[in-house]
Structure 1
Amino acid sequence: MRALRLPRLSSLRAFDHPGYFAVWLGALVSTIGTWMETVAMGVYVTQETGRAEWTGGIAALTFLPSVILSPVGGALADRFDRRAYVAVGSVVQLLLAGVLTVLAFTHQLSVHAVGVVSLLNGCASTLISPAFSAMLVELVPPRDLHSAVSLNSAQYNLGRIIGPAAAGFVLAAGGAPWALLINTLSFLAVLIALSRVRTPPRDMGKVAQNLWKQIAQGISVVRADADIPLMLWATLLVAGLVAPFIGLVPVFAIREFGQGAAATSLLVACQGAGAVTAALVVGTLVDTLGQRKLLGIISLAIGAVSALYWLAPTLPMAATCIVLLGGSYMMMMTGLNSYCQSRVPREMQARMSSLYSMVLGGSYAAGVWGLGALSDRVGLRFVMVTSSVLFLALVLTLRLMRPRRFENASS
């Protein structure tokens, strides 16, 4: 496969590497299917239960395993051939998606079944995600690391645009079973892409140590760094206080605007549009401002934009706000992730990715379920606006107390 040559945009430099582009394209097809399933099941659970607590709880189950399994996944990614390891995990996810598809076509689907499959899929995703992230890093030189991470996020969010739009059409035309079937088949694209790339050989003798010693070594490296702990704290706060807007989109569309799958698909797609747009410019912004300074600016913007989204009185205004929120969220999370990755040697990047995923997934799971449950009792808008304002207040407090930490990175 030929590389895509777009040298003038630093954000797109990772596309100059054929292996990266092949995996990126396969992952995009799979992500489109995943978002079709996410929208279909989000609407299904919200309509079946009528409670944000259930919708948030099901979303949380996908991320909950990261609290326990992320460090294990990071260590395993350094013990096996990453390409083969990701392929095995993708097959497991294909089979789990197939179970949901069969249940839907045979009219045996239930909220509890969706919850069980979501939990198992979360386990599989958590175990292979560090290997996938580390494999992408292996496919590009160090100077293109931020481009690779940003484009991977753009891939995910481009799927967030196409997937919900396709889901809206498929749900209207054939119902949830067909959306689930398309998701099942989409995993084949990842397997085909993996069969066409070769990752650089690694000295497996260096990773023959005990699994738990590998995990402990990764934690030690993080604790010894001057900047990574701050970035992980920032990840925890964003994931717990702001990111739940992702899982609660169906509740917002159905409960606040009195609409269903079409409005849910619109909001999810608009978030993806904002994220993809941000991915195209974030490389240039990093080159101009510096990674640390850009993170400081975005950390202030995201809380305010999140509050505006939840205060939006109409669906068109909410759609406009979530474009900005999606872009801010994408730049914040990819910036935090790539900064952490850049602080550790390559042989530690899978474990760094796993610790980042553990913080992100654990905090998001707690936030989306807890805020969803509280919303059922107090009100969705009030809870989410308060959460957004709390995040903004914490960032402002930290900036006033330690302004230099937002401007300069340690050498």
Structure 2
Amino acid sequence: MTARRLSSLPSFRAFGHRDFVAVWCGALVSNIGTWMEVLALGVYVTAVTGKAGWTGGIAALTYLPSVALSPLGGALADRFDRRLFIAACNLAQVVLAVTLTALAFTDHLSVPAVAVISFLNGCVHVLVMPAYTALITGLVPQEDLHSAMSLTSMQFNLGRIVGPMLAAPLLAVGGVGWVFLLNAVSFLAVLAAVLSVRPQRRPASAPPSRGLWADIAEGARVSRRDPAIWLALVGTFTLALFVSPFIGLVPVFALKVFGLGAAAASGIVSMQGVGALVASVLVGSLVERWGRQRLLDVSLLLMGPVAAAFWLSPTLPVAMGTMLVLGAVYMVALTGLGTRCQERAPRELAARVSSFAAVLLNVGYSLGVWLQGALMDHVGVRPVTATAAVLFLGVAVVLRAQRPREVGVPET
């Protein structure tokens, strides 16, 4: 089925826009490479150190730079041609991926080297993501925005499925170096895609820039004063803190709880992607039936119980089944929160509002994956993660109680 025919379905309307399709396909190839590398790094660090704290710490380094750099990236993306800004950041990621590849093939790879490169890659990642989100927002009309955000999550999770599936046998046969090499090559796809997109014009009503820090402060004021954006940001942070660490800690779960290796970790990660893919197909119809707000409420309330069920799974098959459900619910919740921020933000401030969501997502994830990983070494994997899932359920209940009074969104 072609993109044009798919665009007639509610969940796939954004595929009716050529530039969006080009960026979507390029990003898919790049994300396949990224998830190959994520699995390889998680398995490498866990195997070398034997510590969940190290695995969580390395995963956190990729997102920790968001504290300072994401708002800067948002301000820069609202100033310059977003296509060229993304292209420059992708070239930097190519250099880092090639460096990692060279270290692996020359037998100089080490945990400290992985930590440094992960940190630098995190710096580039948080700079580019606000620009990428704002670019997507500008490629489709407002009525197709939720479809675009859902499909963006779909391609991200398709990469999560295909990447680990390719990485596991490659790790067994060729080692981490070949995984890193394919990741480096994959960045060229998104580079070609964004350069093929027509330039986006700055809105005529946009006020002139008063400097980077003034631009950042303006984005912060808009995010704080709009109750819908503010509650979405709070939800994003707590979701990242309590639930999102499952992304980086799956290798620990597979190796330390089930006593298995890369193949088991790959299977669990892939099931998250399958769940997210199924949700991406269905979300358009669910939005039409329930409305965006009700679907977001339901997904946030389900998130804690589903995450707890995953971490308490007694066997690998049960863990894979619960991960499928967790992947679906996680995709719906995160997409709903991101869409809420973007639909409320003025177009000229889209990247800056996105940057604050990225800060909270990445800082929450960095803190959560590191703290939960460190606690696992002392308390155990299941008690730590199940407790975090229950805490998020409490947060979701509070957010649901606050939303009608502060935001005034109808219940139906």
* Bucket of the pairwise TM-score, normalised by the shorter protein: over 0.9
List aligned pairs for 1:321-332, cutoff 5 A. 321-332=322-333
* Deviates most, 275-284 or 57-66: 275-284
**Which residue of structure 1 lines up, in the alignment, with residue 53 of structure 2?**
53
CA distance in 2 between partners of 1:409 and 1:116 (Å): 45
CA distance in 1 between partners of 2:361 and 2:274 (Å): 22
Q: Taking structure 1 as reference, are residues 226 and 396 closer, same or farther at Cα in structure 2, changes over 3 Å only?
A: closer
Which runs of no fewer than 5 residues in structure 1 stay unpaired?
A: none
Report deviation, 1:196: 1.8
Matched-pair contact (CA < 8 Å) for 2:12–2:151: yes
Listed one character per residue, the Cα deviations across residues 175-197 of structure 1 (whole Å, up to 9, x for unaligned) are 11101100000011111212322
Q: Taking structure 1 as reference, are residues 216 and 378 closer, same or farther at Cα in structure 2, changes over 3 Å only?
A: same
**Which residue of structure 2 lines up, in the alignment, with residue 226 of structure 1?**
227
Which runs of no fewer than 5 residues in structure 2 stay unpaired?
A: none
**Which residue of structure 1 lines up, in the alignment, with residue 131 of structure 2?**
131
**Which residue of structure 1 lines up, in the alignment, with residue 116 of structure 2?**
116
Answering whether residue 149 of structure 2 is matched by residue 149 of structure 1, we say: yes
CA distance in 2 between partners of 1:280 and 1:99 (Å): 38
SS at match of 1:182: helix
**Which residue of structure 1 lines up, in the alignment, with residue 163 of structure 2?**
163
Listed one character per residue, the Cα deviations across residues 338-391 of structure 1 (whole Å, up to 9, x for unaligned) are 111101111111111001000100011000000110111000101001111111
Listed one character per residue, the Cα deviations across residues 264-309 of structure 1 (whole Å, up to 9, x for unaligned) are 1101100011011111111221121111111111111110000000
CA distance in 2 between partners of 1:148 and 1:393 (Å): 30
CA distance in 2 between partners of 1:394 and 1:140 (Å): 33
Listed one character per residue, the Cα deviations across residues 94-143 of structure 1 (whole Å, up to 9, x for unaligned) are 10000000000000000111110010000001111111111111111111
CA distance in 1 between partners of 2:120 and 2:355 (Å): 18
Listed one character per residue, the Cα deviations across residues 250-269 of structure 1 (whole Å, up to 9, x for unaligned) are 00000001111100110110
CA distance in 2 between partners of 1:210 and 1:250 (Å): 44
Amino acid at match of 1:223: R
Answering whether residue 338 of structure 2 is matched by residue 333 of structure 1, we say: no
**Which residue of structure 2 lines up, in the alignment, with residue 348 of structure 1?**
349
**Which residue of structure 2 lines up, in the alignment, with residue 357 of structure 1?**
358
Amino acid at match of 2:144: D
**Which residue of structure 2 lines up, in the alignment, with residue 38 of structure 1?**
38
Question: Over aligned residues, Cα RMSD in angstroms?
Answer: 1.7
Amino acid at match of 1:253: A
Aligned residue pairs total 409
Report deviation, 1:10: 1.3
Report deviation, 1:410: 7.5
* Deviates most, 389-398 or 81-90: 389-398
Answering whether residue 293 of structure 2 is matched by residue 292 of structure 1, we say: yes
List aligned pairs for 1:17-36, cutoff 5 A. 17-36=17-36
Report deviation, 1:200: 2.6
**Which residue of structure 2 lines up, in the alignment, with residue 272 of structure 1?**
273
Listed one character per residue, the Cα deviations across residues 303-332 of structure 1 (whole Å, up to 9, x for unaligned) are 000000001010010000000001111100
**Which residue of structure 1 lines up, in the alignment, with residue 319 of structure 2?**
318
Identity rate, percent: 52
Amino acid at match of 1:365: S
